[in-house]
Structure formats: structure tokens, C-alpha cells
Structure 1
Amino acid sequence: MTEHVLAAIDGSRFSEGVCDYAAWASLALSAPLSFVHVVDNHSQVPDEHNLSGNLRFGARERLMKELSELDEQRAKVNREQGKLMLEAAKARAVEGGVNDPVTRQLNGTLVETLVELEKDIRLLVVGKRGETAHQASGHLGSNLERAVREMHRPILMVPKTFKQPEKVLIAFDGSKTARKGVEMLARSPLFAGAECHVLIVGADTVEPRLQLGWALSTLHDAGHKAEGAIRAGDVDDALQTYEGEHGIDLLVMGAYGHSRIRHLLVGSTTTAMLRSSRIPVLILR
């Protein structure tokens, strides 16, 4: 099966952004586009211990039966809503120029379903938060964190509103993954014509300068306008400051590295960086 761009659709405010970025990626990569909606039928029945002390046996049995019926009704409503969301996403993508996107509705939990599908995924597009997440702007969906940790495909986390990426920043630390990221950025049709920036966070010494020089040369040789810098300080602060100074539209990061950037995606700083980002973040493995 041809690898495709997979967009995870739910009822959150990020779904339009997911749809538009997925359509953009599908067209740029000349890859088929698929939308998936996952219905989690896990029953949220109250703990029997909470009922047994307050209800007679017969009343408790009736209540449990009614709760089960409500769960079935809720699952049916979720399926119907999901079908409508998939139809709307497909129509939006077709309007954006995508030829015959595929829609799929699957039962299960989101992350486990995505892991099962990943062998056919070229790029996964997800929203910053899901429909069941707390709506405070500082919240990051737990499904996104788990997907980053468990999947081995590129993941594009997107905001609510689409903007054509014209200036792309890669967080670079000289690691094998980061070098692959630069090479991917240089040759990927996803970033054809984009202005590329490279940022190293750390001491401005000989080795980082050599690493930066290699990255910029790789991008220049591929025909990109490219510039970069070495900045001291906290990684996420340095990245955000650079983004603001240069009007960056999309951030590229490796999920693993050997410097402080490593901690962005293997520790608590993961949440802080992805939470605070107002632009799409492409996470590479």
C-alpha cells in the first residue's frame, strides 16, 4: 500500500486546521490523503462500590442496565457524529484540490489505532488538543504526548488555523536524527521554496559552528535560502524568541538527540514546548 498522509479528525476546535494542513501536505508530497475518526467505546460505568452502599440489589441492577444502554446510545451518537465530521473533512479537502481523499471510522483507542496503522503512514497530522481535553490554552492533549512517544513516523502537530509555511526553523543539535532532519528538510517537496532557518542552542564554540556550517551548506546546495544562529540559554525560550524575530511558520524537531534539545521530547519539557507553540511543529523520528 502506498504511504499516505493520515489526518486524525475529532470534534475539537483544531479539526479544521488538521484538515487544511493535511490537504496541503498531501498535495505537496503527492501522497494520498486519509482521514480517520476513532470511536472509543470504552464504557465509563461508575464503580460498583460507589453504588452498592446506597442502593438495594434490584435498584443497582436496574441502574447498571440503564447505564449500559446509555453507553450504547452514546457510542451510536459518537459514530454518527464522526461520520458527519469525516464527510465534512473530505468535502473541505476536495475543495482544497485533493483528489479523492479516503475516510475511515475505526473502533478502539486513538493511539493504539494509530500505532496499528503507522506502517502505511508517511505523515500523521494531529491537532494540539483533542475534543475531550480541557480547553484552557495551556493544555496539551495526552494523546499527542503518547503518540510522540510510541510512534515512529513523522508527526505534524497543528494549530486551529492554516497558514502556508514559508519560513521553516529546525532545532539542530548535530545528532544523527537532527542531521537526517536537515537532509529531509533540504529535499522534501513539503518545503519546496521555503526559507530555511537553523538554530543551535548552546555555547558558540568551534564544534557548533562546524555543525551549523554543514546544515546551512546542505540547505543551500538543495536550493534553499538558508540562515541560522547559535544561541545560549534555555532551549524552548531560545526557539520561541527566534521564531518571533524571524516570523517562522513551522518548527521542525527531532524526537531524540544528544544535547539539551533531547529533553524536549523525552521529558517534561516536551509538554512545555508543544504547549507553548503557536505554530505547527513537525516531529521527526
Structure 2
Amino acid sequence: MTHVMACIDNSQSSLAVCDYAAWATQELDAPLTLLHVLDEEKYPAAADLSGNIGLGSREHLLEELATLDAQRARLALEQGQHTLEKARERTVIAGAAFPEMKQRHGHLVESLSELEKEIRLLVIGRLGEDSTRGAQSLGSQIEAVVRTIHRPILVTASSYKKPEKVMLAFDGSPTAYKTVEMLAASQLCEGLPIHLVMVGTDSGDNREALDKARSMLLTSGFVVHAEIRQGEVEMALHAYQAEHAIVLLVMGAYGQSRIRQFLVGSTTTTMLRTATMPVLLLR
């Protein structure tokens, strides 16, 4: 069985991750797993000093340093376990069934890659505990996670607000239609009004594409508001969000058009960085 998997650390954003994960696990009727990964670069495993024979007086110092590293790693693992237990308490209070807890010592991206087959939806904060970046930034590992993990990813806002309206960024491309199909088939946004927004010229071709996407969502029972906006993609989407009090943005994670580029022209990265709402990435 696949799970909603939430990445938990000691950052402030983990509170919102817990709350969005609790919401998602109830909407999807899927079990919840809380994952804590202890970075092995920051907290290395015990060092192997077998190659240091003959260093004389330095050998004892290296052994002491290795012991200290091992102690720091052990304490960090214990702190991570405590953080997971607190996260479990929070998600249970928010309505989630008793979640599973996992703890790994390694790299976040590699750990998620190993667990990918278990993931139905990945929930992760925009900034991690080691981030020194400002509010309108992305944590250093978010881009690598989105590149690597071929599962829906919910990048949370800094605080939780229950999604009541959804904006789907659409550009008429084959990949955009796939995003529409995935959203239409998902339980996550079932019953929520969908605002289907296309940024571009108000042409016959664009109207036809928008109507086709709207029909796909209507067939699945959604209430759909479809609109074409002109201007720069990011500014137009942010303006629409503010006007309509949108709580959740849905986008395709990859593509070649302006609205779906990721790391090449990078409109998606910009939206992740500047959005004040959670962003659900589908591919």
C-alpha cells in the first residue's frame, strides 16, 4: 500500500508539513508515514581510523574526534526520534490515523528515492532546518527532490490553511492535459472548486484548449471556473490567487513551455519560491 509521506525535521515549516499531511491522508484515505532523515554529511557515522596507523600522537586525537562525532550523531538521532513522536502527536490530533515513523541516516534525496514505491503523495516544507535563506526562497534540496521523485509532491506553505479553492495553472500542452487528468482522477481535491487559469493571448486556439480541459474536470464532477489572463505568468497567477482567495496551486513539475519549465527558465521554481500558498506538483 502506498502512503502519504511527510518529511519531518526541526524546522518551523514542519508544523505546517504535519498539518497538510494530516489533511492529505484523510482526503486520500491513505496511511501516513512520517520520515526523518539525519544528514550523514552533518552527522557522519563512526570514522574508520585503520588507515591512520603511524600518526603517533595524532592518532589519539583522531580517535577522540571520531568518538565525539559518534556521540553527536547518536544525540541527533535521539532528537530526531523525539521530533517524530511530536509530529505523530500533532497529526493524530489533526485527525490522521496513527502514523508510521521512519528514520534514516543518509541523504534526503537518496532516502526518498529508495522509498519511492511506498509514496502516494510526498509532503515537504519549502525550507528545511539548515536553511539560512529568506522566506521567498527554496530549501537547497527541494529542486533535487522534485527532479528525482516521480510522485506527486505537495510543497507546503509556512503555515496551514485548509484548502477550499484550487488553482490549476494550464497552458494547453500535452503535459498540461496530463496534469488535468491526474487532478481529475485524484481524491485529494475532490469536492473543491477548481480555478483553471491560462496565461496567454485570448485566442481561439487557447479558448478551445481551455474548454477541453474544463470539460475533463466537469466530467469528473468538479465545479470549474476557467479564465485566460494576459501578462507575465508569475504576476498573473499571483494576482488571480489574491483576487479569488486561492489556497492551493496545482502545476505540472516539468515541461518546455513558460508555465511548466523547471530549472530551465524555471517558472515553476519561481512560483515555488514566491507563492504564499502550498504548491502541488504533478507529473
Give the alignment's TM-score, normalised by structure 2.
0.90
RMSD between superposed Cα atoms in Å? 1.9
- The one-character-per-residue Cα deviations of 1:87-119 (angstroms, maximum 9, x if unpaired) are 111111222222221001111100110011111
Aligned residue among 99, 119, 122 for 2:120:
122
Q: Which residue of 2 aligns with 1:41?
A: 40
State the one-letter code of the partner of 1:174. Answer: G
- The one-character-per-residue Cα deviations of 1:199-223 (angstroms, maximum 9, x if unpaired) are 1112221111111111222222222
How much has 1:135 moved relative to structure 2? 4.5
Question: Which structure 2 segments of 5+ residues have no match?
Answer: 45-54
Cα distance in 1 between the residues matched to 2:43 and 2:83: 23
State the one-letter code of the partner of 2:105. Answer: N
How much has 1:139 moved relative to structure 2? 2.5
- Alignment pair present for 1:201 and 2:193: no
User: What secondary structure does 2:19 align onto?
Assistant: helix
How much has 1:265 moved relative to structure 2? 5.0
- Alignment pair present for 1:25 and 2:10: no
Question: Which structure 1 segments of 5+ residues have no match?
Answer: 46-56
**Structure with more helix by fraction:** 1
Cα distance in 1 between the residues matched to 2:166 and 2:25: 18
Residues 279 and 106 (structure 1), Cα distance of their counterparts in 2 relative to 1, 3 Å cut: same
Residues 43 and 11 (structure 1), Cα distance of their counterparts in 2 relative to 1, 3 Å cut: closer
Point out the more displaced range, 186-195 or 2-11. 186-195
Is 2:154–2:280's contact at 8 Å kept on the other side of the alignment?
yes
How much has 1:43 moved relative to structure 2? 5.4
Residues 268 and 192 (structure 1), Cα distance of their counterparts in 2 relative to 1, 3 Å cut: closer
- The one-character-per-residue Cα deviations of 1:186-205 (angstroms, maximum 9, x if unpaired) are 23221122110111112221
How much has 1:258 moved relative to structure 2? 3.9
Cα distance in 2 between the residues matched to 1:224 and 1:270: 25
- Pairwise mapping of residues 184-199 of structure 1 onto structure 2 (< 5 A)? 184-199=182-197
State the one-letter code of the partner of 1:214. Answer: K
Q: Which residue of 2 aligns with 1:78?
A: 76
Cα distance in 1 between the residues matched to 2:143 and 2:255: 17
Is 1:264–1:273's contact at 8 Å kept on the other side of the alignment?
no
Is 1:43–1:71's contact at 8 Å kept on the other side of the alignment?
no
Point out the more displaced range, 225-234 or 12-21. 225-234
Is 1:8–1:18's contact at 8 Å kept on the other side of the alignment?
yes
Aligned residue among 93, 98, 101 for 1:100:
98
Cα distance in 2 between the residues matched to 1:181 and 1:211: 14
- The one-character-per-residue Cα deviations of 1:147-204 (angstroms, maximum 9, x if unpaired) are 0111110100002321111110011112222212212222322112211011111222
User: What secondary structure does 2:89 align onto?
Assistant: helix
> Between the two proteins, what is the percent identity of the paired residues?
51
State the one-letter code of the partner of 1:70. Answer: L
Cα distance in 2 between the residues matched to 1:44 and 1:187: 42
Q: Which residue of 1 aligns with 2:177?
A: 179
State the one-letter code of the partner of 1:137. Answer: A
Is 1:176–1:257's contact at 8 Å kept on the other side of the alignment?
no
Q: Which residue of 2 aligns with 1:90?
A: 88
Cα distance in 1 between the residues matched to 2:144 and 2:194: 29
Point out the more displaced range, 157-166 or 258-267. 258-267
How much has 1:34 moved relative to structure 2? 0.4
Residues 137 and 127 (structure 1), Cα distance of their counterparts in 2 relative to 1, 3 Å cut: same
Cα distance in 1 between the residues matched to 2:103 and 2:157: 23
Point out the more displaced range, 218-227 or 160-169. 218-227
Q: Which residue of 2 aligns with 1:230?
A: 228
User: What secondary structure does 1:142 align onto?
Assistant: coil
State the one-letter code of the partner of 1:101. Answer: P
Point out the more displaced range, 18-27 or 174-183. 174-183
Q: Which residue of 1 aligns with 2:210?
A: 212
Is 1:202–1:230's contact at 8 Å kept on the other side of the alignment?
yes
Residues 44 and 6 (structure 1), Cα distance of their counterparts in 2 relative to 1, 3 Å cut: closer
Q: Which residue of 2 aligns with 1:4?
A: 3
Give the alignment's TM-score, normalised by structure 1.
0.89
Aligned residues: 273
Q: Which residue of 2 aligns with 1:136?
A: 134
